[in-house]
Amino acid sequence: MLFHVRMDVRIPRDLPADEAAEILAREKAYSQELQASGKWRHIWRLAGEYANFSIFDVRDNTELHEILVGLPLFKFMEIQVTPLLRHPSSIREDDS
């Protein structure tokens, strides 16, 4: 089941540099593991903004929630969730 998620990141200026670097490294590893599993199907950067549009393919709302609150950057993010589905004009068989 698909969800469109916009994440805007705001790192506080007084976060120590090494702490920020450590969180960002964990964030990247966390994201890549979920991408590899197929649950985080796409991630794109918005040009000129510290933000991404992502597509998640999860079992249900609960799994989506657990993935999002588990983000190492979660407390520094503003998140917008939109449930999606296959569009009737899509030429594909599935929702990809």
Q: Which residues bind its own copies (CB under 8 A)?
A: 1-5, 12-13, 27-28, 31-32, 35-36, 42-50, 52-53, 55, 60-62, 64-65, 68-69, 75, 79, 81-91, 95-96
Question: What count of Cα atoms within 13 Å lies in the side-chain half-sphere of residue 10?
Answer: 4
CB of 22 to its own copies, least distance (A): 15
CB of 58 to its own copies, least distance (A): 10
3-state secondary structure of 20: helix
Report yes or no: 7 and 52 within 8 Å, Cβ to Cβ.
Answer: yes
CB of 18 to its own copies, least distance (A): 17
Report yes or no: 14 and 76 within 8 Å, Cβ to Cβ.
Answer: no
By C-beta, is 12 or 18 nearer to its own copies?
A: 12
Q: How far is the C-alpha of 1 from the C-alpha of 84, rounded, in Å? A: 8
